[in-house]
C-alpha cells in the first residue's frame, strides 16, 4: 500500500507502470487492476478556471488516506493499493489524483477503486481554491455531484 502527496506534477500512467513493475511478489496473483485518474477541468460552476491551488492538512491527509485504503483492502480483499494526490498550484489538464487497486477479480477491483475515490472526496482533508478567468478567486465549498 502506498499513499503519496505530491507537490510536483506527476504522470499517472508512468507512476502506475513503475509501481506495478515493482510488485514482483504479486505477479501471477492479481487478475484485475482498476484505475481512476482525476484531472483538472478548465471550468466549474459555469465559470472559466485558469488555475487552482490545492491545500491539504499535512499528517491528517496521509493518515486518513491510509485508513481509507486499509479499510478497502480488508473489505474487498485487495492485494495492493496506490493513491497519489497533487497539492500546490495546478493548471487545467494536470492530473490531480490517481487511485489504483489490484485484486483477484474485477468486481472487487471496480468496487474498491470507486469506494476509495468516494471516501477520499468526503474524508481526506484537501481544499481547492480556483483562480477564475476574470481575475477573481474562490474556495470550492463543496464537491460537485460527480456521478
Q: Is 136 in the site for other proteins (CB under 8 A)?
A: no
Region of 11-19, 57-65, 71-79, 103-111 interacting with other proteins (CB under 8 A): 57-65
Q: How far apart are CA 82 and CA 101, in angstroms?
A: 6
73 belongs to the binding site for other proteins (CB under 8 A):
no
Residue from 34, 54, 72, 79 in contact with other proteins (CB under 8 A): 54
Which long-range contacts (C-beta less than 8 Å, at least 24 apart) are formed by 56-60? 56/5, 56/85, 56/87, 56/124, 56/125, 56/126, 56/127, 57/125, 58/5, 60/125
Minimum distance between the CB of residue 82 and other proteins, rounded to whole angstroms? 15
Q: Does 51 bind other proteins (CB under 8 A)?
A: no
Cβ closer to other proteins: 43 or 57? 57
Query: Quick one: which of 7, 17, 70, 127 contacts other proteins (CB under 8 A)?
Result: 127
Q: Using CB under 8 A, which of the segments 11-19, 68-76, 103-111, 117-125 binds other proteins?
A: 117-125
Sole binder of other proteins in the list 6, 33, 38, 51 (CB under 8 A): 38
Using CB under 8 A, pick the residue from 30, 76, 102, 126 that binds other proteins: 126
Q: What is the largest CA-CA distance in the chain?
A: 53
Supply the angle between the helices 106-123 and 60-76 in degrees, to the nearest 10: 150
Name the residues that contact other proteins, by CB under 8 A.
38, 54-57, 59-60, 63-64, 85, 96-97, 117, 120-129, 139-143
Amino acid at each position: 500500500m502506498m499513499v503519496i502527496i505530491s507537490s510536483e506534477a506527476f504522470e499517472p500512467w508512468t507512476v502506475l507502470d513503475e509501481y506495478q513493475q515493482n510488485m514482483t511478489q504479486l505477479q501471477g496473483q492479481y487478475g484485475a487492476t482498476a484505475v481512476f485518474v482525476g484531472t483538472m477541468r478548465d471550468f466549474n460552476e459555469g465559470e472559466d478556471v485558469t488555475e487552482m491551488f490545492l491545500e491539504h492538512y499535512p499528517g491528517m491527509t496521509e493518515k486518513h488516506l491510509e485508513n481509507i485504503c486499509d479499510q478497502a483492502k480488508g473489505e474487498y480483499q485487495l492485494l495492493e493499493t496506490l493513491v497519489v494526490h497533487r497539492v500546490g498550484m495546478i493548471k487545467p489538464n494536470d492530473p490531480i489524483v490517481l487511485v489504483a487497486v489490484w485484486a483477484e477479480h474485477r468486481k472487487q477491483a471496480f468496487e474498491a477503486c470507486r469506494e476509495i475515490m468516494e471516501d477520499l472526496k468526503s474524508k481526506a482533508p484537501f481544499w481547492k481554491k480556483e483562480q477564475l478567468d476574470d481575475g477573481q478567486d474562490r474556495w470550492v465549498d463543496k464537491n460537485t455531484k460527480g456521478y
